[in-house]
Copies of this chain bind each other. A is one copy, B any other.
Amino acid sequence: MRNLLEIQKQLLPDLMETLKRRYTILHQIMLSDIIGRRTLAASLDMTERVLRAETDLLKSQGLIEIESVGMRISDAGRRLLDLLEPIAKSLFGLDDLEEKIRTTYGLSKVIIVPGDCESSPFTKRELGRAGAKALLGVLRSDDTIAVTGGSTLAEMADQLSPPLSHSYKNAWFVPARGGLGESMEIQANTIASTMAKRVGANYRLLHVPDLLSEDAYQSLGLDSNIGEIVGIIRRSRIIVHGIGDALEMTRRRNLDEATVAEIQGEGAVAESFGYYFNEEGKVVHTMLTMGLRLEDIMRTEVVVGIAGGKRKAKAIHAMLRFGQEDILITDEAAAVEIGREIDNEVQLPL
């Protein structure tokens, strides 16, 4: 059932909006027993004219009856509404959840794609698409954008397609951090260059390992070339970062057991751009690396976090508590978990 909608959404991107709108109108008419056009328009916050177009359609479909005293739902309309209810629930459910998360943590935007990244590669792709769309929504023509690595970011880069007739040839994509000992495709460097190519922008790479010894850090810091690119990175207006589970990231970074134990001992649950966060969103561990620093993130105008899957819910939630996110892209599985935790928190003080 739900599946069909997802399929159609690809061919009819504005299907959901229309469906929601008409459902809402029909629903409102049902609730109101009988209601006039102007009153209805006001209560739904629509202009009279567009409402009229919709009600004319509903009438021609036999879903409502229009009389001189106003509009009322027909039997067919009532039946349709019944059939539509479960669909509408899930349709509006995510909206509500987006709004809840948004207001709770003061974000400017939250996007939840239906499904679960962990179980479906399609959902992961959708997550990437949503991220790409969100990025294009905030991207200006001469921006500098710092991106981290990770498979989700890689997917996002793949899904990034330049909008028709808009030039980003003065924009710069840079990696937020150095390279991890991982496959090429999900390196921050790779992602920065892919994104740049896809939208017709420029890119700079940071050729240093993510994890540095004190010595190496000092000596590399003196390199003028590296210094320059780090300077660019730190002045980014936009950061797009994945969010990782702390434990998983220690493994991916191949940290030694002592360090892993230390990080775990500090209660770290989330990792992003080289910092480890505990459940309260406090930084509990910092890695000595080149690239973005905590203070840069604080002053960055647009911080876009992107991650999905139930297993990452805790980590995402920690990042939200950290409080620097502006836009969150996640999936239903993670969002539902986060919503649950928000409810628990609210109930505790009672």
Contacts and interface: CB of A to CB of B under 8 A. Distances in A.
A138 interface: no
A63 B7 CA distance: 11
Given A62-B161, A161-B60, A161-B62, A11 B19 contact: yes
Contacts of A31: none
A10 B61 contact: yes
Interface centre among A3, A8, A87, A125 (most CB of B within 10 A): A8
Interface in A1-51: 1, 3-5, 7-8, 10-15, 18-19, 22-23, 26
A258 interface: no
B1 A80 contact: no
A4 B63 contact: no
B1 A4 contact: yes
A84 interface: yes
B4 A87 contact: yes
B83 A7 contact: yes
Contacts of A129: 62
Contacts of A122: 79
A224 B94 CA distance: 71
User: In the assembly, how many copies of this chain are there?
Assistant: 2
Contact of A57 (B13, B19, B60, B62): B13
A18 B22 contact: no
A222 interface: no
A215 B326 CA distance: 91
A346 interface: no
Nearest to A14: B57
A10 B18 CA distance: 12
A142 B45 CA distance: 43
A87 B80 CA distance: 20
A161 B7 contact: no
A22 B271 CA distance: 43
Interface string A58-86: 01111100000000000010011001100
Contacts of A161: 59-60, 62
21 contacts: A1-B3, A4-B4, A4-B5, A4-B87, A7-B83, A10-B61, A11-B18, A11-B22, A11-B63, A12-B15, A12-B18, A13-B61, A14-B57, A15-B15, A59-B161, A60-B161, A60-B164, A62-B129, A62-B159, A62-B161, A76-B125
Given A4-B4, A11-B26, A13-B61, 19 more contacts: A1-B4, A4-B5, A7-B80, A7-B87, A8-B8, A8-B19, A10-B63, A10-B76, A10-B80, A11-B18, A11-B84, A12-B18, A12-B19, A12-B22, A14-B57, A15-B18, A60-B161, A60-B164, A62-B161
Interface of A: 1, 3-5, 7-8, 10-15, 18-19, 22-23, 26, 56-57, 59-63, 76, 79-80, 83-84, 87, 122, 125, 129, 159, 161, 163-164
